[in-house]
Amino acid sequence: MLTRKLPIIAVATAPGKAGVGVIRISGPNLLQITSALFQKTLTPRQANLLTLRDGDGEVIDQLIAIYFAAPASFTGDDVLELQCHGGPQLLELVMRRCLELGQDQGLVIAEPGEFSLRAYLNNKIDLAQAEAIADLIDAQSEAAVRGAARSLQGAFSNDINSLIEEITQLRILVESTLDFPEEEIEFLENAQARERLKTVMHQLHALREGAKQGKILRDGIQLVLAGAPNVGKSSLLNCLAGEEVAIVTPIAGTTRDRVKESITIGGVPMHIIDTAGLRDTNDLVEAKGIERSWEAIGAADLVIFLQDSSTIDSVDGPELELKAQILKSLPSKCPVLEVHNKSDLLSSSDLRSTKGRALFISAKTGDGIEALKQKILETVGWGGTQEGAIVARRRHLDCLDRASVHLDKSQQFAADGNVSLELFAEELRLAQDQLGQITGKLLPDDLLGKIFSQFCIGK
Ligand code: GDP
Ligand code: ZN
């Protein structure tokens, strides 16, 4: 898919009925395909009301066709956009007719993400921007839409590029001195190399913070509600969701399967997984639910460990064992919030004596739920501001983390007693490579193919 140079075609609009459906064709030989379709050449960037006919001269559709000549198009190649009537069967017919008439020119159906891939390969957008197109389409909240739009405009890429530029400058400085017999420590001081490196590290850190927020905006938070049966997990989920989404009954083990509910708290998408009572069971359905609960725990961003505050003093061996097991299964660094439910069952003196020590809530009365929501946002590291936010992916965070490790190492090679300019420069180069992978430079082809293949067809 990376190298094929054939013209491609796909329906660009969503499946289903609509007023208008858009079909996009892009690639070489498009002039010939256009004249085969409409017996004429189209003036670029002009709307043309045209009729498409089948082999018998029968009208398939009257449509608007716009021709974009390379390189002034989305893909950077010639593009023909057909705005047809939006019926799925009709679009199918138009597609078939185009493929028939474009056959001699090698017209083929596009792979997922192939239009964006070509835009990327033709340097119309970089990889982070291409990803932002997919994220814009998949956005789950208004804030995510705005973040994706900023990334698509290049906000994220520009920051990455200016960081790369500063590292490049520093490298040039260091590498040009490698050939001179100057004392290495002397050089570092004269060039203020350490200070400059520190500035770069600060910038990288700020970028990482922004990207972390961006990932939360894009993916939301996987929040697992864990705890023994009957402590009120389903009730809390309902309370947070503000509607009845899980079955609440007083019988232990009712929640047989995990229930996933997506809500937003303070604009942040939260995917809340209500775990089935995590206990040994002979019931197959229940066992399946428990298995999936463990999977969810292994991928959590945050776990709320819920306890029943009215029975808190009688927490017994198995419950403590279960908790230890959960703590062991969490991804590293996953925060755990201990929350005590059913505060309404505590006497006011009990409640006073526990105040400030832990989070007490009542899923029944709603008491403490607002504070819990704040605590959740704080714990997942949501900065609370969506102003200027971009969207980011796990992939970007991983690259930033690896770049950071290399900058740390490069700093070590500039430390007194351990100076090696050669290794200093080498670590700078490695950091730069990692940053370059975010915008797509130096990214291996197989990874590139994998990223684009996750796009929808027609993008
Ligand atoms: P789960 O098994 O952990 O999901 O627990 P449920 O949400 O099904 O709740 C078990 C029982 O506890 C039900 O009878 C709920 O009505 C009750 N319950 C849940 N939260 C509260 C609370 O805050 N206060 C009181 N008094 N009862 C609660
Ligand atoms: Zn439940």
Structure-token pair, residue 441: 């430079």
Residues whose CB is less than 8 angstroms from the CB of residue 375 and which lie 6 or more positions away in sequence, other chains included: 337, 359
Asked whether residue 166 falls in the same domain as residue 261, the answer is no
User: Residue 48: which CATH number?
Assistant: 3.30.1360.120
Give yes or no for a contact between 422 and 410, defined as CB atoms under 8 angstroms apart. no
Query: Stretch 326-350: mean pLDDT, rounded?
Result: 87
Q: Which atom of ligand 1 is nearest the CA belonging to 343?
A: 23
Asked whether residue 144 falls in the same domain as residue 209, the answer is yes
Asked whether residue 310 falls in the same domain as residue 431, the answer is no
Report how many domains make up the chain.
3
What integer pLDDT is reported at residue 97 of this predicted model? 98
Query: At residue 40, what are phi and psi to the nearest 5 degrees?
Result: -160, 165
Look over the chain and give the mean of its residue pLDDT values, rounded to a whole number: 87
pLDDT in tens, 190-206: 778 889 999 999 999 99
> Band of the pLDDT at 267, cuts 50, 70, 90?
confident
Alpha carbon of 4 to ligand 2 centroid (Å)? 52
What integer pLDDT is reported at residue 299 of this predicted model? 84
Confidence check: pLDDT of 13 > 70? yes
Of 110-124, 216-230, 253-267, minimum mean pLDDT range: 253-267
What residues have a C-beta under 5 A from ligand 2, the ion? Answer: 233-234, 255
Give yes or no for a contact between 190 and 174, defined as CB atoms under 8 angstroms apart. no
Give percent of the chain with pLDDT exceeding 90.
54
Last residue of a domain, one of 74, 104, 124: 124
Q: Is residue 77 part of a domain?
A: yes
The runs of H, that is alpha helices, within 66-192 are 88-101, 114-121, 127-138, 142-153, 155-177, 184-190
Give yes or no for a contact between 30 and 79, defined as CB atoms under 8 angstroms apart. yes
Residues whose CB is less than 8 angstroms from the CB of residue 248 and which lie 6 or more positions away in sequence, other chains included: 234, 235, 238, 254
Q: Is residue 451 part of a domain?
A: no
Residue 455 to residues 283, 306, 390: CA-CA distances in angstroms?
40, 38, 19
Last residue of a domain, one of 339, 359, 379: 379
Confidence check: pLDDT of 245 > 70? no
Q: Is residue 446 part of a domain?
A: no
Asked whether residue 315 falls in the same domain as residue 435, the answer is no
Q: Mean pLDDT highest for which of 244-253, 344-353, 395-404?
A: 395-404
Q: Which atom of ligand 1 is nearest the CA belonging to 274?
A: 4
Nearest bound ligand to the CA of residue 236? 1
Asked whether residue 283 falls in the same domain as residue 324, the answer is yes
Domain range for 245: 221-300+302-379
Give yes or no for a contact between 193 and 173, defined as CB atoms under 8 angstroms apart. yes
> Band of the pLDDT at 255, cuts 50, 70, 90?
very low
Q: Is 248 in the pocket of ligand 1 (CB under 6 A)?
A: yes
Q: Is residue 455 part of a domain?
A: no
Amino acid at 322: L
Q: Is residue 175 part of a domain?
A: yes
Cα 452 to Cα 116: distance, rounded to the nearest angstrom: 8
User: Tokens 């700093």 label which residue?
Assistant: 411
Asked whether residue 283 falls in the same domain as residue 343, the answer is yes
Confidence check: pLDDT of 258 > 50? no
Asked whether residue 92 falls in the same domain as residue 165, the answer is no
Cβ atoms within 10 Å, residue 46: 9
What are the contacts of 122-126 at 24+ separation with CB within 8 A? 122/71, 122/75, 122/76, 122/77, 123/76, 124/71, 124/74, 124/75, 124/76, 125/152, 126/154, 126/157, 126/439, 126/440
Helix, strand and coil content of the chain, in percent to the nearest 5, comes to 50, 15, 35
Q: Is residue 444 part of a domain?
A: no
pLDDT in tens, 426-459: 999 999 999 999 999 878 888 888 888 888 877 8
Cα 147 to Cα 218: distance, rounded to the nearest angstrom: 8
**71: preceding bond cis by omega (within 30 degrees):** yes
Assign 64 to helix, strand or coil.
Answer: strand
Of 29-38, 93-102, 106-115, 351-360, minimum mean pLDDT range: 351-360
Cα 122 to Cα 159: distance, rounded to the nearest angstrom: 22
DSSP state of 277: P
Higher per-residue confidence, 408 vs 143: 408
Which ipTM was obtained for this model? 0.98
Asked whether residue 244 falls in the same domain as residue 271, the answer is yes
Structure-token pair, residue 428: 């700078």
Higher per-residue confidence, 192 vs 39: 39
Asked whether residue 236 falls in the same domain as residue 322, the answer is yes
Radius of gyration, CA atoms only, the chain: 29
Q: Is residue 90 part of a domain?
A: yes
Alpha carbon of 230 to ligand 1 centroid (Å)? 6
Alpha carbon of 300 to ligand 1 centroid (Å)? 23
Q: Is residue 159 part of a domain?
A: yes
Asked whether residue 252 falls in the same domain as residue 157, the answer is no
Return the H-helix or E-strand segment holding 411. helix 394-412
Nearest bound ligand to the CA of residue 367? 1
298 annotated ligand binder? no
Assign 392 to helix, strand or coil.
Answer: coil
Cα 126 to Cα 120: distance, rounded to the nearest angstrom: 6
Of 64-78, 238-252, 395-409, minimum mean pLDDT range: 238-252
Confidence check: pLDDT of 144 > 50? yes
Confidence check: pLDDT of 256 > 50? no
User: Residue 340: which CATH number?
Assistant: 3.40.50.300
Higher per-residue confidence, 23 vs 194: 23
Q: Which atom of ligand 1 is nearest the CA belonging to 253?
A: 2
7 annotated ligand binder? no
Higher per-residue confidence, 228 vs 163: 163
Structure-token pair, residue 362: 């009542």
User: Residue 177: which CATH number?
Assistant: 1.20.120.430
Asked whether residue 400 falls in the same domain as residue 340, the answer is no
Q: Bridge partners of 221?
A: 270
> Band of the pLDDT at 217, cuts 50, 70, 90?
confident
Alpha carbon of 255 to ligand 2 centroid (Å)? 4
Asked whether residue 403 falls in the same domain as residue 278, the answer is no
Entry pTM:
0.79
